[in-house]
Structure 1
Amino acid sequence: MLDVALVFLVKSVNAYLASRTGSSLGEVEPSRIVDDGGKWAIKEDHLGAAIINVEEERLFKAQLPETTLVNGRQLVVEPELKLNLHVLFAANFRQYDQALRYVSYVLMYFQSNPVFTPRDSPGLDERIEKLSLELQSLTYEQLNQVWAFVGGKQLPSVVYKVRMVALQDRTPAVGVPVTRIDAQVHGR
């Protein structure tokens, strides 16, 4: 589901970029930022989008599994795992001003489209209830840590927190239901 959410966001931004620029220059690609050799994994004159952190959304977490009886068997489905993703959009352009322009396009797009639902975004997978984007304002120290973690020199970039991608294994655990409880109390 992480891949589905990231690919949806990339396609949405690319459609916006195509309508604004009329070209495929600067397309966003889901990509690592730096390859294993320490070189940019983002193509030149393109934007890269990478998930740099995944955190559990504990505030809206359901605590109990769903249980149902079907044909004398107890089916147990664990609660959804609700996640927030931190997505880094980085611009690898030869010309610095173009990198800034394309990062600005990303900012403008998500400023005017901060929430996506399957109802208003037909390309969004029906299993995703809602994606809400929130711009992350990183301090200099945090920015330094992100780029050190990624393993590259800083590029013009922006980080968004994408709320809430829900993961759920729909394969239920099957068990025999409890049909009788016996208790014995012994006195002293």
Structure 2
Amino acid sequence: MLVVIPFRAGGKSRLPEELRNDVALAMLGDVVEAAVACADVRVVTSDPAGGLVAGDLGAAVVEDPDTGQGPAVAAGLAGADGVSLVVNADVPRVRPSDLAALAVPAKLGRLALVAAPDGTTNALGLPYPEVFRPLYGAGSAGRFAAHALDVGLDFEELALPNLVRDIDTVADLAGLGPRGGARTRALLGAIAG
């Protein structure tokens, strides 16, 4: 199984500028750590610091074509075979068990998706990489579901709490709680300290 994690520097624009990079890298580390515990991992990024975090944790680094999240994911899936998961880098609560649950529908030939509360897409489970289309943006969860049906696949929307709750704002960070990944929690502790 493969997990693809797109990571763009400066992507957390709703966080204060002085926190953006550190928080994004801490969350990336938490997501990569969960993923490498259960799968091969490719982090798609053009950010040197993101590449270092990914590489240090055992993930392969794929150069981001820098033309958006969809093309980044497509670059990460290139040459892959079989069940593939796509997970955003801003879900620091994720555990290997969440990724295993995301993979179940894909192993049964279905597309799995986890929608964020705003209707965007935090994670996908693909039965094979070729089913992916670059449909990200506002309302993308609905577009991914419709695409699955268009290509003759059933889909399952999974409400996995650790994948549903992404981090976009200071309020999201404040609500992270004890289930947050160790890197993100440590960073928040240092900020509060």
TM-score over 0.5 for the pair: no
Q: Report the TM-score, using the length of structure 2 for normalisation.
A: 0.28
Higher percent of residues as strand:
1
Q: Report the TM-score, using the length of structure 1 for normalisation.
A: 0.29
Higher percent of residues as helix:
2
